[in-house]
Structure 1
């Protein structure tokens, strides 16, 4: 039995106003080829098929065309709802898709028996049991009670999710025993597990007050296919609990991560036991050239002129760029300057960031000096050294001083303020001393 685990397609995403239609179409064609070449028996999409609850028409077309093409591969499809998906949108074609060897589980607000079913191999044999768990909405698993504290709600919700998994797993064990006690049990999920690494494109899931689900709450399934986190990774160091990640970069900070789908093979001769799978990540090609360029303007110009991706780009498929400019000065024409560097090049700036470069480290990091070891004047001087004081070119106040004296004026104002504070402090000390002497004299009398 071979399972291919994928998730977080986000069909219909608008990426800085750019459509991902061509990328998604290319990925789905590639995925169909992988299903055929690897002889995959079942394909699991662990949530977030669409990017929004109202996907554009072309996204729905891609989804249904893919399902139609998949039927020629003799591969079962399982689609789970994610937090981005609309339950009603997924359910609108559910009744039809069940005749196309496809299972759609949009929410947990259905009978448990509909979330536990057998998966067949290409020979038609029931070769695995699936606990099909989509994104869990709080109202589907727990009833809110008046007077509960935030901690109580969090604990109750975590326990309810854990209990839901345990209940489905028990049903899966019963079904497995009635078919073949040696076939594996697979579970799914679309949530944030504690301790995972996220990316900018991930929309935080706060299930009620639950920020993350403890991996100890998952059932002892033979493989757990998770979705929602876009970076592929194991959970709690377990080989069999995995996020496969999104198939295309959904934000620029995902470019340093190799996108993948995961092949789970329960038929491999290398398996130590019938229920231990061979897990093989399969790298997904990049279907759209994207790059992040960082540095000051000279460094960015050099990177643009020597970028292999930009040199290979065409007018039909330009490179999408995120440029982070390190600058100490506020440049009102920064966008125009950067855009000029791309003249006659097949590249588009989708994101331009201004990053202020710190000249020195913070006081707490510099030579491990503690604030308690410095005088007030020394703290001020060190803090001023971290700032880039932009000189003023014009003055409306003729008494303010010459045009290059802004730093001196700030230092003078600080000195005056410090003198005033210290003067007040000395007055307070003098008053306390006089009061103390008068008190002592009164006690003597």
Structure 2
């Protein structure tokens, strides 16, 4: 029996409303190392977004390398790490030769030769025990050749076709390896992508991966020879199309207040031969988050309840009462004074809504995202027709280029 643990989206170094979270990240990695030891895990898969940006801080790097050293000294025989869209491929790849001596296998960039993404992992006796298709986040330039005059629909189609072809090529090589090594060796693939139908939550920081929003991968993009597909990118733990073997492990920490109260987990996969059995292991809550919404009486009442329970929560307060409260921040600071709670974010929807109503009747602050703001600017300046369409597309391309082509700017 082979025991595998699937996790992703650590986002080491990410802050919440300006608050550093290194203690939480450290507590999670300590718990993960203890879980590996306690459960007797043989292989750990990390499906992308190890770091929150392409230039992680020294402290984030220290957490990462300290964990890898601890994992290498544990019963875990192999660690496989692939890059996500937040990671710098070159940064992750730089120490890969050194890490390989610890049986830590890193794939930061899509390989020119698909065979370089096919890893045969061996047990202590030297016998092959697992084949991993270690596919990282596939950037647009990895799978699509741009051509002059192609439409957005053409680009989306070529992109999804390119991702599908990449998985087909890597899986075919893995299947040939299994034919050579033995039929009972499982084949596992990683992926950092947006599967069609995947669920996200407001404020989780999950980005659209490509220009536009159509390039979402359907479940049939993963060849039938794959016995388990370990996915990253979406922060909500979930199955893809109800499949037991196509899963997002989700982020181990809530990345924003929209994930407050969400159950976090890692996926434990047991293989008997090539047959998987999946169970979820709940991740403890290392820092409670609480979103409180309502009028002032509801907000004050909930803060009193939390204080009575000795809560140490970080709070996001969303005021949506009818009355305009100009001193909301001061009231909140007074309400949490003497408790172990802290208000990290205040959203006074009533004041914002009054301002918005002057320009866009019936629209609220919660209806807008960054692109909406850009569109409002175009409308305010009277930009319409073909010029508006072209400027909007240029805006989207600039944002996507910032996120993809220059990891240091993420």
Name the counterpart of 2:157.
155
Name the counterpart of 1:58.
59
Q: Tell me, what secondary structure is at the counterpart of 2:190? A: strand
Q: Tell me, what secondary structure is at the counterpart of 2:4? A: strand
Answering whether residue 325 of structure 2 is matched by residue 326 of structure 1, we say no
Q: Tell me, what secondary structure is at the counterpart of 2:275? A: coil
State the Cα deviation string for residues 121-148 of structure 1 (Å, max 9, x = none).
4554311111111100011122111121
How far the C-alpha of 1:79 sits from its partner, in A, is 0.6
- The runs of at least 4 consecutive aligned structure 1 residues that moved more than 6 Å come to none
In 1: Cα distance, 2:324 partner to 2:215 partner: 38
Answering whether residue 185 of structure 2 is matched by residue 206 of structure 1, we say no
- Using structure 1 for the length normalisation, give the TM-score: 0.75
Q: Tell me, what secondary structure is at the counterpart of 1:279? A: strand
How far the C-alpha of 1:208 sits from its partner, in A, is 4.4
In 1: Cα distance, 2:126 partner to 2:31 partner: 25
Q: Tell me, what secondary structure is at the counterpart of 2:258? A: helix
Name the counterpart of 2:242.
237
The residue correspondences of 1:15-30 to structure 2 (distance < 5 A) are: 15-30=16-31
The residue correspondences of 1:276-355 to structure 2 (distance < 5 A) are: 276-307=275-306, 311-313=309-311, 318-355=312-349
State the Cα deviation string for residues 164-212 of structure 1 (Å, max 9, x = none).
0000000000111111112111111001011111122233233344431
How far the C-alpha of 1:5 sits from its partner, in A, is 0.1
The residue correspondences of 1:41-440 to structure 2 (distance < 5 A) are: 41-75=42-76, 76-199=78-201, 200-209=203-212, 210-220=214-224, 221-267=226-272, 274-307=273-306, 311-313=309-311, 318-356=312-350
Name the counterpart of 2:370.
none
User: Is the 2:317–2:343 Cα contact (8 Å) retained in structure 1?
Assistant: yes
The number of residues matched between the two structures is 349
In 2: Cα distance, 1:37 partner to 1:245 partner: 22
User: Is the 1:90–1:104 Cα contact (8 Å) retained in structure 2?
Assistant: yes
How far the C-alpha of 1:114 sits from its partner, in A, is 1.4
State the Cα deviation string for residues 88-139 of structure 1 (Å, max 9, x = none).
2101211210111010000104421210011234554311111111100011
State the Cα deviation string for residues 61-108 of structure 1 (Å, max 9, x = none).
011111111111132110110000011210121121011101000010
State the Cα deviation string for residues 384-406 of structure 1 (Å, max 9, x = none).
9x99xxxxxxxxxxxxxxxxxxx
CA 1:28–1:353 in structure 2 vs 1: closer, same or farther (change >3 Å)?
A: same
Gaps of 5+ in 2: 352-360, 364-410
In 1: Cα distance, 2:123 partner to 2:234 partner: 29
User: Is the 1:42–1:121 Cα contact (8 Å) retained in structure 2?
Assistant: no
In 2: Cα distance, 1:9 partner to 1:122 partner: 29
In 1: Cα distance, 2:251 partner to 2:283 partner: 10
CA 1:213–1:70 in structure 2 vs 1: closer, same or farther (change >3 Å)?
A: same
Name the counterpart of 2:372.
none
The higher relative CO (CA closer than 8 Å, separation ≥ 6) is in: 2
Q: Once superposed, what is the RMSD of the aligned Cα atoms?
A: 1.9
State the Cα deviation string for residues 295-319 of structure 1 (Å, max 9, x = none).
21111111111116x7434xxxx42
Q: Which one has the largest radius of gyration?
A: 1
CA 1:122–1:325 in structure 2 vs 1: closer, same or farther (change >3 Å)?
A: farther
Q: Tell me, what secondary structure is at the counterpart of 2:343? A: strand
Moved more, 277-286 or 123-132: 123-132
User: Is the 1:74–1:122 Cα contact (8 Å) retained in structure 2?
Assistant: no
- Using structure 2 for the length normalisation, give the TM-score: 0.81
How far the C-alpha of 1:265 sits from its partner, in A, is 0.3
In 2: Cα distance, 1:163 partner to 1:81 partner: 19
CA 1:88–1:235 in structure 2 vs 1: closer, same or farther (change >3 Å)?
A: same
How far the C-alpha of 1:331 sits from its partner, in A, is 1.9
Moved more, 199-208 or 125-134: 199-208
Q: Tell me, what secondary structure is at the counterpart of 1:353? A: strand
CA 1:122–1:347 in structure 2 vs 1: closer, same or farther (change >3 Å)?
A: farther
User: Is the 2:206–2:235 Cα contact (8 Å) retained in structure 1?
Assistant: no
In 2: Cα distance, 1:298 partner to 1:311 partner: 19
